[in-house]
Amino acid sequence: MPDPESDERLLEKVSPQLRPIWSFFMALCHVLQQGDNHLSARDAFWLGLIDEIIGVPELPSFRLFTEHAKESAKEGKG
């Protein structure tokens, strides 16, 4: 089990670096909740709001990586 004190020390060290990112993300979420905001599918993908855009194979997706890994493993065993 992790030591609670080590978690607190890690949080103290990492907090200053993550605060600007967290503030940006919170501001972005706040703005997106104000009225109608139209994000393109690519914008949502690169912001990490969705995992994959169906029909756009040039964007990396976790599903494509796992499918490729499974195919490679089958070819290596055959």
pLDDT digits (tens, 9 = 90+) for 37-56: 788 888 888 888 888 888 88
* Mean pLDDT of the 56-60 span: 81
Q: What was the pLDDT predicted at 77?
A: 64
Tell me: do 8 and 24 sit in the same domain: yes
Tell me: do 55 and 77 sit in the same domain: yes
**Gap between the Cα atoms of 17 and 13, Å rounded:** 8
Tell me: do 45 and 77 sit in the same domain: yes
Tell me: do 47 and 25 sit in the same domain: no
**Gap between the Cα atoms of 74 and 68, Å rounded:** 10
Tell me: do 68 and 51 sit in the same domain: yes
pLDDT band at 23 (very low <50, low <70, confident <90, very high): very high
pLDDT digits (tens, 9 = 90+) for 26-36: 898 888 888 88
Rg (CA), the chain: 20
First to last CA, the chain: 42
How many domains are contained in the chain?
A: 2
Considering only residues 77 and 47, tell me which one the structure prediction assigns the higher pLDDT: 47
Tell me: do 45 and 59 sit in the same domain: yes
Query: Domain range holding 58?
Result: 38-78
